[in-house]
Amino acid sequence: MNKKFIIILIVSIVVCLSIGAIGGLSVKSDNFVWYNSLNKSPLSPPNIAFPIAWSILYLLMAVSVSIIINHNPIDKKSVIVFAVQLILNFFWTFIFFGLKQPLFALIEIIVLDIMIIITISRFKNISKLSSILLVPYLIWCLFASYLTLHVVMFN
């Protein structure tokens, strides 16, 4: 690994984890009272699983986008697509927990799922490894889509 890649990786990790942390700031303690009162899917993981899973996923996302940014020439459109899905990722937390709007969050996460698929597709044309690193993220978001749909349907 060269020095340029390591700098890109560090910046990417900071950006991705910061997006998650800022999104988490929209979740206040009364949001958990609301969330715990909902009829959730029997497949809902315990609350502690979410920060652990998201930390791992944000790290994988950072490595993935770092590979793309380090590629010469840089594919700016692919980086923009990645940034758009990252912003959508942030807004899901705010919409679901901050605004307590599961239906709107469901619509938003479907758009997010599509953007992740587009990101994976674009990244695959540049680096197969980079696209593979995003697959767990897609799987987790599809699972989150199911969980959100369940909340919409049974509350």
The predicted model gives 10-19 an average pLDDT of: 95
Q: What is the pTM of this model?
A: 0.94
Question: How many whole angstroms separate alpha carbon 101 and alpha carbon 72?
Answer: 42
**What is the predicted pLDDT for the residue at 10?**
95
pLDDT higher than threshold 90 for residue 106: yes
Confidence of residue 104 (pLDDT cuts 50, 70, 90): very high
Among 29, 60, 31, smallest CA distance to 131 is for 60
